[in-house]
A and B are shown apart, each in its own frame.
Chain A
Amino acid sequence: MNSMKVINKKNILILIVIIVFYAVAQALINNGTINNFYEITLATICINIILAVSLNLVTGFTGQFSLGHAGFMSIGAYVGALINMEMNSTSGFLAGILAGAAAAAIVGILIGIPTLRLKGDYLAIATLGMAEIIRVVFLNMDDITNGAAGLNGIPRFTNWMWLFIFTALTIILINNFVHSSYGRACISIREDEIAAESMGVNTTMYKVMAFAIGAFFAGIAGALYSSYFYFIKPSIFGFMKSIDILVIVVFGGMGSITGSVIAAVVLAVLTTFLQSYSELRMIIYALLLIVIMIFRPQGLMGTKEITDLFKIVKKNEKNQ
């Protein structure tokens, strides 16, 4: 038996794909194919992937319908921005991300413990309310957050490299989690909470765990956002932002990380093209939601991942 299982064929392959992907995009940025305008789209894609994959853990895998993900994002954004502005260095930027993520996770635990005993629509509305409360609190902490006007002049450290690193980390870590025994415990809650509890799964604990992990990564996304766009204010992180993230998760498929990634890319590209018609964009979003739910409620990918595709190909090869 191999003593170092971590170094296996699959993991090496994944590493190579990641490095190649990064290098190609970096080269395109360097030679100007991806200009400043498209770089914003690229940043939006990365941030939305982090948000969607983390919400997918809560809603798609654990089955806890949350309409408050933007609230956690805002915590990461504010905490990250404040530390970043104070220290104004790369280490400050990284410390801000970490602190923002940790703060979001802690709030996630505090919110999760009372609300996660609610189910379905009630949970949705409670998480929505929680996010609104967070927003109102930021709005009223004038001394620190500058109220409705928001924080301006946040130093920009977020670049393609950091965006890529954090996006890749999010995908890998959350993918690892959902494919571990802990992740299966979360999935069992989605499937049948009563049966899960009878199989020894402490459902409350795992719901809160999923919620906290989701909040942690949303916090990272928020901190990256604040340091990329220089500027944040409470109204950015309202109900509509939570819906935006949910649309990505639903469109990609609840329970599919691949789906969230694809949907984040497709919707960001769509948004870029419809930039000057914001109402039309929202109408298309709305129709997309309704049509998907009626005709393909499982989303693009259902609960399938890209790796399942390889498995099917392999199986077919064997059969031939």
Chain B
Amino acid sequence: MPLLSADKLTKSFGGLTAVSDASMDIEKGELVGLIGPNGAGKTTFFNILTGVYAPTSGSIKLEVDGTVKDITGFKPYNITKSGVARTFQNIRLFKDLTVLDNIRIAMHQNIKYSLPSAFLRSNNFYYEEERLVKEAEELLDIFNLTDKKNELAKNLPYGEQRHLEIVRAMATRPVLLLLDEPAAGMNPMETDNLTKTIAKIREEFNLTILLIEHDMSLVMKICQRIYVLDYGTMIAEGSPSEIKNSKRVIEAYLGEDVRYA
């Protein structure tokens, strides 16, 4: 049984079908890539997986603690609770809050003190808050962001903001991490840096990762398996070398005329 299995997902907006019959299986521990030309429906597919849109038809199943759970149509917060975390293509940090607060908010779903103890500041409140800070610092350490924990998120340089988004997603303790174009807008050096970090967190946290990416070289370099989406349908699936040589994929990316060129 795969960790996540999306079965024949379809999403239409009025007359427009953005994603149709798209299926995807992700095994535990895999690093899977999702690519496709602009407007192929990658982000829509992603938004269905994360609960931003409910699919028009199809189902999503997730293995949680050894049992299979149908998470189709779950609200985003419930999907996150079930163990799927995400980042955003156009960074969506809480930019007027500190780095630490960004992380602590993501940890909220796992806090162990009640609303009354929040109001009355019980001992438990103080212990839990201390634990939150400690765990947040441990996470920030991975990206060398610990000494910036009291900076406002908006004051971080672009690359670090992208990193912070990943840390924040990890603070929800996911089993599956969805990264929406994490390298968008990065220079080659930053991308290289990111590549290493992704590999590192995957190993250290035993994470399964789905990556949407435009940057072909990044996907080819780190993904074990790649899905290709075009006009809302999955047109190919396979290892990076298979994808590289797939005629359909080349056509989708470069247009059919390429044969005659």
Assess the A198–B125 pair: CB atoms within 8 A: no
A5 contacts the other chain (Cβ, under 8 Å)? yes
Which of A92-100, A119-127, A188-196, A262-270 is the interface stretch?
A188-196
Q: Which residues of the other chain, A, contact B129 by a CB distance below 8 angstroms?
A: 180-181
A150 contacts the other chain (Cβ, under 8 Å)? no
Assess the B118–A181 pair: CB atoms within 8 A: yes
Assess the A6–B121 pair: CB atoms within 8 A: yes
Q: Which label, helix, strand, loop or mixed, suits the secondary structure of the A interface?
A: helix
Closest residue on chain B to residue A174 by CB atoms: B119
> Of B81, B115, B171, which is in contact with the most chain A CB atoms at under 10 Å from its CB?
B115
Assess the A199–B105 pair: CB atoms within 8 A: yes
Assess the B126–A5 pair: CB atoms within 8 A: yes
A11–B92 alpha-carbon span in the complex (Å): 36
A182–B50 alpha-carbon span in the complex (Å): 23
Closest residue on chain A to residue B174 by CB atoms: A200
B156 contacts the other chain (Cβ, under 8 Å)? no
Q: Give the contacting residue for A195; candidates B92, B109, B123; CB below 8 A.
A: B92
Assess the B106–A183 pair: CB atoms within 8 A: no
Q: Which residues of the other chain, B, contact A199 by a CB distance below 8 angstroms?
A: 77, 80, 85, 105-106, 108-109, 168-169, 171-172
Assess the B118–A176 pair: CB atoms within 8 A: yes
Q: Which residues of the other chain, A, contact B172 by a CB distance below 8 angstroms?
A: 199-200
Assess the B97–A201 pair: CB atoms within 8 A: no
A79 contacts the other chain (Cβ, under 8 Å)? no
Q: Give the contacting residue for B109; candidates A11, A200, A203; CB below 8 A.
A: A200
Task: Report B172-191 CB contacts with A as 1/0, cut-off 8 Å.
Answer: 10000000000000000000
Q: Give the contacting residue for A197; candidates B75, B94, B95, B123; CB below 8 A.
A: B75
Query: In the complex, how many angstroms separate the beta carbon of B165 from the nearest chain A beta carbon?
Result: 9
A4–B122 alpha-carbon span in the complex (Å): 9
A202 contacts the other chain (Cβ, under 8 Å)? yes
Given contacts A4-B123, A173-B119, A176-B119, contact A200 B106 (CB under 8 A): yes
Assess the B109–A180 pair: CB atoms within 8 A: no
Given contacts A5-B127, A176-B120, A176-B121, contact A181 B97 (CB under 8 A): no
A184 contacts the other chain (Cβ, under 8 Å)? yes
B252 contacts the other chain (Cβ, under 8 Å)? no
A187–B169 alpha-carbon span in the complex (Å): 18
Assess the A188–B105 pair: CB atoms within 8 A: yes
Q: Which residues of the other chain, B, contact A194 by a CB distance below 8 angstroms?
A: 52, 76, 92
Query: In the complex, how many angstroms separate the beta carbon of A133 from the nearest chain B beta carbon?
Result: 29
B88 contacts the other chain (Cβ, under 8 Å)? yes
Assess the B76–A185 pair: CB atoms within 8 A: no
Q: How many residues of B contact A (CB 8 A)?
A: 43
B251 contacts the other chain (Cβ, under 8 Å)? no
B96 contacts the other chain (Cβ, under 8 Å)? yes
Q: Which residues of the other chain, A, contact B104 by a CB distance below 8 angstroms?
A: 181, 184
Q: How many residues of A contact B (CB 8 A)?
A: 30
B86 contacts the other chain (Cβ, under 8 Å)? yes
B35 contacts the other chain (Cβ, under 8 Å)? no
Assess the A200–B108 pair: CB atoms within 8 A: yes
Q: Give the contacting residue for B94; candidates A5, A182, A195; CB below 8 A.
A: A195
Given contacts A184-B101, A185-B105, contact A197 B92 (CB under 8 A): no
Q: Which residues of the other chain, B, contact A4 by a CB distance below 8 angstroms?
A: 123
Assess the B126–A195 pair: CB atoms within 8 A: no
A160 contacts the other chain (Cβ, under 8 Å)? no
B111 contacts the other chain (Cβ, under 8 Å)? yes
Given contacts A5-B123, A188-B105, A194-B52, contact A203 B77 (CB under 8 A): yes
- Segment 180-239 of A: residues with Cβ below 8 Å from B: 180-185, 187-188, 191-192, 194-203, 209
- Segment 70-94 of B: residues with Cβ below 8 Å from A: 75-78, 80-81, 85-86, 88, 92-94
Q: Give the contacting residue for B118; candidates A177, A188, A200; CB below 8 A.
A: A177
Query: In the complex, how many angstroms separate the beta carbon of A180 from the nearest chain B beta carbon?
Result: 4
Given contacts A199-B80, A199-B106, A200-B80, contact A180 B118 (CB under 8 A): yes
Q: Which B residues are closer than 8 A to A by beta carbons?
A: 50, 52, 75-78, 80-81, 85-86, 88, 92-97, 101, 104-109, 111, 113, 115, 118-123, 125-129, 132, 168-169, 171-172
Q: Which A residues are closer than 8 A to B by beta carbons?
A: 3-6, 11, 173, 176-177, 180-185, 187-188, 191-192, 194-203, 209, 303
